[in-house]
Structure 1
Amino acid sequence: MSPQTDFMSHRNDALRAARLRAGWRTMDAAAAALQAHGQQLLDDPHYTVSGRTWRRWEGRADDRRWPSEETAIVLHDALGRWPEDLGFPAPAGWIRPEAHQEDDVKRRAFVSVTAAALVPGPTAGQHVDPALIDYFQSQLEGHYRADMLLGPHDLIGTVSAQYQLIDKLIRSAKGETRRGLLRVGAAYAALVGWLYQDAGDLGAAAFWRGITQEIAARSRDPHLVGYSLVNLAQVRTDLGDGHGVIDLCEAALDDNRIFPKVQIMALQQQAHGASLTGDRTTVDRLIDTADGLLIRVDDDLPWGNACKRTPGYLEVQRATCYGRLGLGREADGLWRQVLAAVPSTARRDRGVYLARHAAAAAVSREPDHAVEIAREAATIAVETRSARMARELRALERAMRPWQDAPVGRDLAEVLAPVTEGS
């Protein structure tokens, strides 16, 4: 391999693309422009960036030193990206400066989140009519439909407030009424956890998944206990912890009393765990096993009905797992089938599927097709403010990096700008 070829194979394409988008045609021009920008931003006439430094940044990874915090701020202000998004390997302990400013806001938001679940007692006793169980159960289906149409942000306050009321009633209820309210309370807590997960707040999501497990255990309902474990596994999937996903799903499946619906949920989530560990054979085996159970789903429980409500539910999971495994062509074919059956009412889900389909097209080396698919996904992402969808579109950006300097790459940047600017 020639020195020039070696440099090309190790160059920092992310920083180079950002430089060219800024109109800095050469590395020396980029260094001069960044230096001028930094001197003005920091009000420091001695701030310098040399052409040699910039060439090292765009060169081999082992020669690429992490910039100082002030240079990280200047890069972000000039290019709109932090160093880790510009090809620099982040050192241990690095926290974006903006995160320091957001800590207090996040802490206050988390306190607000937990308030609904941790109302101190005891509360004044009251008569609790058993009919309230049916009332809260009937509300659930409406919340599920609204979630598909609106996304998470507009529902979190409503659903968590209802959970707070249920928790208050549980403290006064007795016997089977109390047991019934515990069951419906677990379903509400699970929904709040999902809404926070979709909104991108995994800390709040994990908290509410824990509340779900607590209430499920108190209800003594094995189906809800299994459901709560799958809920926890969903958070582990978003954290990229494949073995954690598998552990939780196996724990749920250890109880042979659980309904087929809960078994299906655990099997498909375990398939996601297997995909995170690179095991395609197990992915297919688990999803095929779940598919064989679909005909046996006949319970009337108001929660966990995605396998009945979502067209092509298990093929959605398979396609997602294939995309995670880098099986672009296989995933592309499945997404075409799935999207043909998605109803217009499932707008948020459609946006997520489109983003994953676009990434599969990119992996299949069909960049023009990927951008075409991404247009609709980006529109839905802006409308619903779904962090899950934005995360899928960032994965598409990574899959499209081989074309980032080509016209199709610039088209994608334009398509995704409304999403990335708001995320």
Structure 2
Amino acid sequence: MSRNDALRAARLKSGWRSADAAAAALTAHGRQLLDDPHFTVSPRTWRRWEGPRPGWPSEETALVLRDAFGKWPESLGFTTPPGWIRPEHHEETSMQAARFLDVTAAALVPGPLSRQQVDPALVDYFQSQLEGHYRADMMLGPHDLIGTLGPQYQLIDKLTRSATGETRRGLLRVGAAYAALVGWLYQDAGDMSAAVFWRGITQEIALRARDPHLIGYAMVNSAVVRTDLGDGAGVVDLCEAALDEPAAVVPKIHVMAMQQQAHGASLLRDRAEVDRLIDQAARLLPRVDDDLPWGNACRRTPGYLEVQRATCYGRLGLGVEAGALWEEVLALVPATARRDRGVYMARYATAAATARQPEQAVEIVREVAAIAVETGSARMRRELETLERAMRPWHDAPVGQDLAEALAPVTEGT
């Protein structure tokens, strides 16, 4: 990069249209914050900060930048010196540890617990709740549901310890589905440590249930995490493992594993393999007719496989092809599926930028910003960061400023 884009973007979002205006505003802010009439940032200093070698500000200037923008200098493109530890680092580390303990608590309740009679009808009760949770996830995003599902999983785990026979196996199966959904919610919220933890819980319970369909489903769920981590080979390994005994699993598992393996192929830059896997999954999709309560996105999501193909094409840099697919998909997605629609539109905007249509990209993204703030989806924010990278060729053009203004509601909340 030839200049400090992070600081420039922060300046534009604050309404400071030039280095002179930014220097004057930060000077005034610093004098008030520090109660120091001599605090000064010159226009020349600000221009150096936005250049390719911004250096590192003094300690008091770092505090002023943090107060003005809500970010420490390392998040504003400055060159972090060796040994720098921002003042709130230890507090943040403790908070992250506390959050992770909250995540694991529901899955790690010590036993044995007092035994109780378990009615077999409870298996159907918990299964019937799943579809409502899936629909709520599409409309609300992760944060509102995590607090609900954790205690429900804990109750299922408690009942499983008392149940016997087929009731116990039924509770294990439904518990695996709940754990998988919790893992997905944490992944969507951007907490990959918690997501990996819950994916592991899903695999453990699936193995305890001795259910080959659930074991395959758990493998695909882990592959989704590997996709977000950019590990194409890991994705392929897990999807191939899910289909290790193809005759043992229902067609739905085949469809899920093939489409996720296509994502792995796109990470490995293999378009031919992407198309082969998606086409093969499409031939199997009409055969998905099981009554399993989990993993039904392939039946519930409009244009499910074309969503995967468009995403893979976007990852491969095929902007024109991806854009055409996104236009078709978005015509099918209902307005109530807010989170999914926002993610798809962000990818559509990136495809437009890749196809060198920056004005169209900005027009698309205006709606996405509002959805990202509303749902709190970290996945959507990551898609918007990808868009920002694709828009770098127009950084200094008016359309680049339009993009910064469109994304201001999102970046101001980070």
Q: TM-score, normalised by structure 1?
A: 0.87
Alignment partners' CA distance in 2, 1:95 and 1:260: 52
Partner of 1:372: 363
Alignment partners' CA distance in 2, 1:295 and 1:137: 24
Change (3 A) 1:404 1:100: farther
CA contact (8 A) 1:39 1:45 kept: yes
1:131 lines up with 2:124 in the alignment: no
1:10 lines up with 2:10 in the alignment: no
Among 317, 320, 327, which residue is 1:329 paired with?
A: 320
Partner of 1:5: none
Among 345, 360, 365, which residue is 1:354 paired with?
A: 345
Equivalent residue of 1:254, what SS? coil
Cα drift, residue 240 of structure 1: 2.3
User: What letter matches 1:365 in structure 2?
Assistant: R
Cα drift, residue 366 of structure 1: 1.6
What does residue range 170-319 of structure 1 map to in structure 2 within 5 Å?
A: 170-256=160-246, 257-319=248-310
Cα drift, residue 56 of structure 1: 5.5
Change (3 A) 1:98 1:317: farther
Among 140, 146, 156, which residue is 1:156 paired with?
A: 146
Among 305, 311, 331, which residue is 1:320 paired with?
A: 311
Alignment partners' CA distance in 2, 1:17 and 1:378: 16
Alignment partners' CA distance in 2, 1:97 and 1:379: 32
Cα drift, residue 85 of structure 1: 4.5
Alignment partners' CA distance in 2, 1:91 and 1:85: 13
The one-character-per-residue Cα deviations of 1:81-117 (angstroms, maximum 9, x if unpaired) are 5445544566788766544332222222222221111
Change (3 A) 1:90 1:401: farther
Alignment partners' CA distance in 2, 1:138 and 1:100: 43
Partner of 1:112: 102
Change (3 A) 1:300 1:152: same
Change (3 A) 1:47 1:235: farther
Q: TM-score, normalised by structure 2?
A: 0.89
Cα drift, residue 278 of structure 1: 2.5
Equivalent residue of 2:289, what SS? coil
Partner of 2:16: 23
Alignment partners' CA distance in 1, 2:188 and 2:5: 31
- Aligned residue pairs: how many? 412
Equivalent residue of 1:341, what SS? coil
Alignment partners' CA distance in 1, 2:288 and 2:50: 56
The one-character-per-residue Cα deviations of 1:205-240 (angstroms, maximum 9, x if unpaired) are 111111111101101111111111111121222222
Partner of 1:405: 396
Alignment partners' CA distance in 2, 1:67 and 1:240: 34
Change (3 A) 1:64 1:23: closer
5+ long unaligned stretches in structure 2: none
The one-character-per-residue Cα deviations of 1:226-255 (angstroms, maximum 9, x if unpaired) are 111111121222222222222222221223
The one-character-per-residue Cα deviations of 1:127-183 (angstroms, maximum 9, x if unpaired) are 212221111111111111111122222211221111111101110111111111111
5+ long unaligned stretches in structure 1: 1-8
Equivalent residue of 2:412, what SS? helix
Percent identity, aligned pairs only? 75
Alignment partners' CA distance in 2, 1:36 and 1:421: 21
Change (3 A) 1:69 1:398: farther
280-289 or 187-196: bigger deviation: 280-289
Cα drift, residue 377 of structure 1: 1.4
- Kindly report the root-mean-square deviation, in angstroms, between the aligned alpha carbons of the 2 structures: 2.8
Cα drift, residue 403 of structure 1: 2.8
CA contact (8 A) 1:136 1:184 kept: yes
Alignment partners' CA distance in 2, 1:235 and 1:204: 11
Cα drift, residue 126 of structure 1: 1.5
CA contact (8 A) 2:19 2:43 kept: no
Cα drift, residue 288 of structure 1: 1.8
CA contact (8 A) 1:17 1:404 kept: no
Change (3 A) 1:18 1:164: closer
